[in-house]
Amino acid sequence: MFARLRNSRGYRKFTRNRGAMVALGVIGAYTAIFILVWFFGVLTRADARERVLPRNTPGWLEKQSVEDRFNALTWYVESHLGSAIPSDLATRPDAQDALRRAALGERRIIDAPPERVLELWADLRAKHKETDDLFLDLEDAENEILDIRLIIADTTSSGGPEDEIASLREELAELEPEAAQLRAEFESSLAGAEAALTELMPMPKGWAGIVYGFRTFLGSNAIGQSISVHAFYSIKIAFQIGLVVATACVVIGTALGAAAGFFGGWIDALVMWLVSTLSSVPYLVLLAVLSFMFTGSQLFDNPVDRPELQLVKLYVAMGLTFWVGTARVIRGEVMKIRSLEYVQAATAIGFSRPYIVVRHIIPNTFHLMFINFSLLFIAAIKNEVILSFLGLGVSGQPSWGAMINDAKDDLTNYFFWTVGSASVLMFGLVLAFNIVSDALQDAFDPKHVA
Amino acid sequence: MWAFIVRKLLYNVPVYLGIIAILMLALRVNDPTYTFLGKNATKDQQDRLRTSMGLDDPFAVQYGRLLGKVFTLDFSEDSWAQPGRSVRAIMISAIPKSLSITIPTLIIATFVSIWIALVAAYFRGRPPDKTLMILAVLGMSISYLVYILFGQFFGAFLPDQPGGIGTPFAITGYEPWLLGEHADPWNWVTYCMLPVLIGVIVTIGYDTRFYRAVMVEETGKDYIVTAMAKGATKPKIMFVHMLKNAMIPIITRVMATLPFLITGSILVEVYFKIPGMGNELISAIKGNDFPVVQAFVAVFAAFFIVSVILTDVLYALVDPRVRLS
Amino acid sequence: MNVRIPSATRRVLTCIVVAAMACSAWLPSARAQDERKIVRIPMVTAGPGTLDPIMGSTQYDNRACSAVYDTLYQYKYLARPLQLTPSLAAEMPEVGEGGKVWRIKLKPGVFFIDDPCFSGGKGRELVAEDVVYSWKRIADPQYRFKSYWLIDGIIEGFDAFRDDQVKRVDAGQKFDYSAEVSGLRAVGKHELEIRLNEPNQQFLWKLAMFQLSVVPREAVETYGDAFNRRPIGTGPFVLRRPEDWQTGTRMTLHRNPNYREEYYPDEFEPGDEKLGLTEAAGKRVPLVDTIEFDFYVEAQPMWLEFQAGNLEFTTVPQHAFEEAFSRRTKELRRTYTAKGIREVKVPLLDFIFRAFNMEDPLLGGYTPEKKALRQAFNLAMDWHEMNEALYFGLCVEYDGPIPPGLDGHPKGEDRRVEHSTRGPNFDLARQKLREAGYTIGADGKVQNFPPIEFYTSTGGESQRIVELLQRNLEEVGIRLNPRYLDFAPLMQAVDNRKAPMFSFAWGSDYPDGENNLALFYGPNESPGANHSNYKSPEYDRLYEQIRTMPPGPERTAIYEQMRDLLIEDAPFCGSLARTRVYLIQPWLKNFKPTEDFYTYIKYVDVDLSDARRAK
């Protein structure tokens, strides 16, 4: 069956399309990640939940402002280590266990005797305190400068006395170098404190370092979880929905479409009635009804124990409505094939009608099935994102829609990493499928109008 | 011709009956009064609500009643979640809002994408065509959601920040054009423009590809050869002869989007807080507002069927061969 | 036939589109200026559920109802701690017979707004009989007893009245509003006599709650179910037409031209003068022409509108703290203060907690083991982390159910009681788990403990909260299976005692710890406010005792005793009180933010001459 496809002209044309080959490679990469996550459990939901960084840490390449760095350091010292390092560390029998639990992902507290750890910890706290004092001084100084600038601007615009402005400017000229001096001191003190932190919690090396690098290279979300783990884990959800919906729709659509096209008569009338009816139901309404039916069900709404079954409502809603397009296309094609000589010949020889459909007709619609599969795959992924965003789809497990929904407000803080990572990964997958389905169409069905 | 119209109508009647039956059943899987009132409701209240919607009647009676309402457009029953407002009032206030987003979107998107498609078809196979088509595919691959988020961010939020260049777009919301307290055409424009622009950008990728394919198919037709033989210039052939003939698929495509003019774009309406049909439908679903959901769904399906029939009829007018098949 | 658009038409259409876009590009984004004073107030909701006071419960219902209706008493606008002052009443009640008989005189000459439901279309005078009618509605089964808890067991003869009427209605008769209630009588036109079953300290606070607003019988009977969208009141503002309320968009209210004579208060706190809050003293209110409640389902658009100057004030949404405030000092950044924006941090009378169903076979029960188990949950929760991660560290973490600022709130360091079980203290949590009879594995995690169903509301924020909670509890091996439900189904699950553990928040109805202690009073069990179904004879006895006690050290001591009892028995984990941060535009005058009452709308004013307002 596939041999015929491979020898066809369309196949050769398709394989010569370089863009499509690259896109196939991209899809292959996504598939590999999907299999790694889904089958081998390389990334788990526990990984996604784990805290690896302070909140909203930007990813790779973006330089943090000094204030953000200071806030992150404060978080390490006051919130994280402050509660993770027990005060009675030196006398505890399970000191090493306690320290192990203070790890952030692969980044652990230095493997040293408790006395050494406490020493480093005290050093870090002292340095942080010093930095903190400098920060407060600096903020005061800079606010003062801003205030004076404002007064100057006000007085100038209201035509205030020149000499007053001049004296203010003088004051400003005095304050500015002082503030600059303070800033330099603050920055060096901050660098020192950060070094002390690295000493206490060294960056992991070797394999652990690579893993930690992967988990931190896209930064962290509002509760310090790894964005990269979320974004890559979401590929699994996208593929699950894409594969199930596309496969189901292609199978149902082909079966019903072929039956309608080949047998005609009441079967055709019934299938076309179903097609028209289902395509006139707003599928969002269908989905709302379904999600209403499934809400709170132990089986279908249990993201802790049965995350897969949570997707069933999406499968059903999309599955019910998306197959109609495939059925229409296949029906048209089958009607065309039905009148071709070789089918008539097969009928004349006396092959049974179901045999003809399976043996002679459906294989000739393979190209359409492939094209429809990739179009449906895209549609399913895009809709999942929108539905999860509207709160009707996936919850309690990472998905691109949930990520975007969760982080959309961070945009106004100029924090793009969560929304950006989800968007880019989704864009790559959808683009690859778009290119492949275009190339398939070009190769196998060139006369088709979009 | 009339026979054709009647045939089409007759064919679509069972379709509509089926839709209504499926939706009515789906909405009755869980008792809507219970869902709305919760378990603390008194029996009396539930009964009152149930009788007010006639939910105690046999299904066939309810079915007939709803059909009657759709045909007479008489949705005078009150919404449950917003007592005192009839479903009709909600529709009347929501439809213009959806239309003021969807109609400009449709018009602008269609015009712009036809022009881009013409340009692409004119340069068929050459770099401008290829660039445009790559852009179209790229544009299609970005999620609607991302367009909306970044559209609002770069279109309205960033320029409005201190030191920004300022923006004519309102960030969210809606003001009416003609009637009401805040009516002001210019205001209306500022509220609608950003959603419209985002809608245009989203649809333009799909439309351009479609129209280009239509144009490219037309170039192979005999009349083009004839026109060329007569010595017409290439631009003239493209923009005059071809465009006229390409109108058929263009109209079909535009007609196919008509029912969605009424539902509005749910995502845009929800995000930009435009109280159109889509937004009302979502909040009705979330508020378990049964009368509104049922009426909206029935009306939407009716619009869908009517526009399908209209498309077929128009098609038959344009191309008499269709009538015979 | 060929369908085509003539090219001339096409050109014209194109021109129109291009021209329209070009024109609009020059438009300023601000709305048209006019000289009327409009205050635009944001609400993060699709809108209040109702404008019928007795059907209301949320703070959004409260805000809207407070604008259109009046209660007998209201809070003094500027005074802190909160105090009451007459509103519809002429003076404070005369309390006699040992606190059992309350006589309340009403102000004469207060008129309802004009409406066709009154004869002649003119609003008639409000009389004492209206108060009686409005309160009797609470007993009408038609309104589902939504506000019944307010007067449950308080007014003499009222419970009997309700039972009689329910019987009547069940028998198919109409609710009889003319039936007498011995404890609620109009004495003449302008005086009310209320008899209580026993002296009650909290009753006066309740008289200021919006659910006990006064509504006219004509309107209720004319509009029926639609009454909750057609408010006919005596309040400072009026909803002129039902269309002025668009769910999901806005509600526009106009000044009530016949509003009774009421003046801006002249009592104030130190510090108010500096903020200009006292300048309007003695002016007749309301001070503005129009109030617009703008509804925002999402907080982000609200924040953007405020920055664009289209809202007079806003609360700061979580995502915007970083942008507007210095994390270290929690001060408003200079970029905001430079625009004249001022910030006010309003501590809420708030009690956020995670409750257990005390009837749950695994988590409930009163044996020492079960107590230890629940205490272990509390010890494994890091409220401080949640505060820092989600609330910018602005919330107050405390022990017990009584929010900050009230009698009975813990006075110890870090707002802890002596035997505090507030986490995070994972070691102690493990020890408590051992006490509860579980074994702790080598990894520090409890063995053979099934996942716990945790019921909480839907929404992005609650997912983050659950993620944090899961991570905390995982530390000692407790796993949570979250159930995200919309508010109504969540309440249903809790009322049905189906939820073993659930998330809850309680905003005090009035500034008295009794309101929170009532949440664990046995007879209030589900579907009442005691959602934990906590039952302790000693606690109930103490509660009955404090109900009649006047404030004082003696009562506070009992509050503390009850609080410690609760912490020991641990029917809940907690607690947290939010702090709401308000940002206020410089042209909004006389605004002192609070979330304890919402009658302030009539006092605010807008400075039309402020240059920063004109955009």
Out of A112-126, B14-28, C292-306, the most confident range is A112-126
Whether C2 has a pLDDT exceeding 80, the answer reads no
Contacts with A280 from chain B: Cβ below 8 Å: 15-16, 19, 301, 304-305, 308
Give contacts of C248 with chain B, Cβ < 8 Å: 273, 275, 279-280, 283
| Residue A12 banded pLDDT, cuts 50, 70, 90 | confident
Q: Which residues of A touch C475 (CB under 8 A)?
A: 101
Find residue C351's DSSP bridge partners. Answer: C506
Residues of C with CB below 8 A from B170's CB?
A: 29
DSSP state of C112: P
Query: CA nearest B216: which of B226, B208, B204, B205?
Result: B208
Confidence band of C210 (pLDDT split at 50, 70, 90): very high
Q: Is-contact C533 C556, C-beta < 8 A?
A: no
Residue A284 pLDDT level (bands cut at 50, 70, 90): low
Query: Reduced to 3 states, what is the DSSP secondary structure of residue B73?
Result: coil
Determine the Cα–Cα distance for residues B277 and B95; give it in Å rounded to an integer. Answer: 6
- pLDDT surpassing 80 at residue B40: no
Q: Distance (Å) from the C-alpha of residue C27 to the closest C-alpha of chain B?
A: 6
Least confident of A355-359, B75-79, B173-177, C434-438: B173-177
Subunit contact A273:B157, Cβ cutoff 8 A = no
Chains with 3+ CB–CB pairs under 8 A to C are: A, B
Give the pLDDT confidence of A192-212 residue by residue, as tens digits: 999 999 999 999 999 999 999
Asked if residue C527 has a cis previous peptide bond (ω within 30° of 0), the answer is yes
Give the per-residue pLDDT at A321. Answer: 84
Q: Which residues of A touch B39 (CB under 8 A)?
A: none
Rounded-to-integer distance, Cα B98 and Cα A205, Å:
57
Q: Per-residue pLDDT tens for C462-485? A: 888 888 898 889 889 998 888 777
Taking the Cβ of residue C293 and every Cβ of chain B, the question of whether any pair is shorter than 8 Å is answered with no
Candidates C246, C291, C310, partner chain B, best to mutate (most B CBs within 10 A): C246
Q: Which residue has the higher pLDDT, A158 or C135?
A: C135
Please answer whether residues C495 and C526 qualify as being in contact, where contact means their C-beta atoms are separated by less than 8 angstroms: yes
Please, which pLDDT band fits residue C459 given cuts at 50, 70 and 90? low
User: How would you classify the pairing of strands C73-75 and C84-86?
Assistant: antiparallel
Query: Of all residues in chain A, what percent carry a pLDDT higher than 70?
Result: 92
pLDDT exceeds cutoff 50 at B2: yes
| Bigger pLDDT: B213 vs C501 | C501
Distance CA A253, CA A245 (A): 11
Q: Is C446 helix (H, G, I), strand (E, B) or coil?
A: strand
Distance in angstroms (rounded) separating the CA atoms of residues B253 and B261: 13
Mean of the per-residue pLDDT values for chain A?
86
- Average pLDDT along chain C: 87
Tell me the angle at which helices C368-379 and C553-569 cross, rounded to the nearest 10 degrees. Answer: 90
Structure tokens, C206: 């309740």
pLDDT score, position C127: 95
DSSP per-residue string spanning A280-308? TS-HHHHHHHHHHHHTT-TTTS-TTT-GG
Q: Chain B: nearest CA to A68, how far in angstroms?
A: 21
Instruction: Give the CA count within 13 Å in the CB-facing half-sphere of C396.
Output: 24
What integer pLDDT is reported at residue A447 of this predicted model?
62
> B146 and chain A: CB distance < 8 Å anywhere?
yes
How many whole angstroms separate alpha carbon A227 and alpha carbon A56? Answer: 9
- C450 with C362: CB under 8 angstroms? yes
| Cβ-defined contact of B168 to C144 (cutoff 8 Å) | no
B/C interface, count of CB pairs below 8 Å: 133
Closest residue in chain A to residue B30, using alpha carbons only: A293
**What is the C-alpha to C-alpha distance for residues A4 and A2, in angstroms, rounded to an integer?**
5
- Record the pTM: 0.83
Tell me if A449 and B137 make a contact (CB, 8 A cut-off).
Answer: no
CB contact under 8 A, A71 and C328: yes
Q: Which of B259, B253, B271 is nearest to B102 (CA)?
A: B259
Does C252 touch chain B if contact means CB atoms closer than 8 Å? Answer: yes
Of B84, B168, B317, nearest to C24 by CB-CB distance is B168
- Chains near B, with 3+ CB pairs < 8 A? A, C
Kindly indicate the confidence band of residue B164, based on its pLDDT and cuts at 50, 70 and 90. Answer: low
Q: Is the pLDDT of residue A218 over 50?
A: yes
Local confidence band at C110 (pLDDT 50, 70, 90 cut-offs): very high
Contact C21 B193 (CB under 8 A): yes
Strand partners, C504: C353
Q: What's the CA angle centered on B19, arms B15 and B23, to 5 degrees?
A: 170
Of the candidates C222, C230, C223, C232, the residue with the CA atom closest to the CA atom of residue C123: C232
Cis, bond preceding C575 (omega within 30 deg of 0): yes
Query: Residue A2: what pLDDT?
Result: 63
Task: Residue window 478-507, chain C: list those with CB within 8 Å of chain A.
Answer: 479-485, 489, 493
For range C395-414, the mean pLDDT: 92
Give chain B positions within 8 Å (CB) of A282. Answer: 263, 281, 297, 300-301
- Report the pLDDT averaged over residues C36-56: 88
Of A273, A385, A411, the CB nearest to B143: A385
In contact, A227 and A417? CB cutoff 8 Å: yes
Query: What is the overall mean pLDDT for chain B?
Result: 81
Our CA-based measurement puts residue A296 at a distance from the nearest CA of chain C, in whole angstroms, of 7
What tokens does C527 get?
Answer: 């579907």
Model ipTM value: 0.82
Residue B44 has pLDDT above 80, yes or no: no
Which two tokens mark A367?
A: 């190209």
Q: What is the pLDDT of residue B1?
A: 75
Phi, psi of A257 (to 5 degrees): -60, -45
The answer to whether the Cβ–Cβ distance between C329 and A55 falls below 8 Å is no
Which residues of chain B have a CB within 8 Å of the CB of A411? 149-150, 153, 157
C558-601 residue pLDDT tens: 999 999 999 999 999 989 999 999 999 999 999 999 998 999 99
Q: Work out the burial of residue B231: count CB atoms within 10 Å of its CB; fewer than 13 is exposed, 13-18 middle, 19 or more buried.
A: exposed
Measured distance CA(C340)–CA(C337) in Å, rounded: 5
Check if B266 contacts A (Cβ < 8 Å). Answer: yes
By Cβ distance, the residue of B111, B171, B189 closest to C308 is B171
For residue A282, what pLDDT is reported? 66
Q: Which residues of A touch C483 (CB under 8 A)?
A: 296, 301
On chain C, the residues whose CB falls within 8 A of the CB of B246 are none
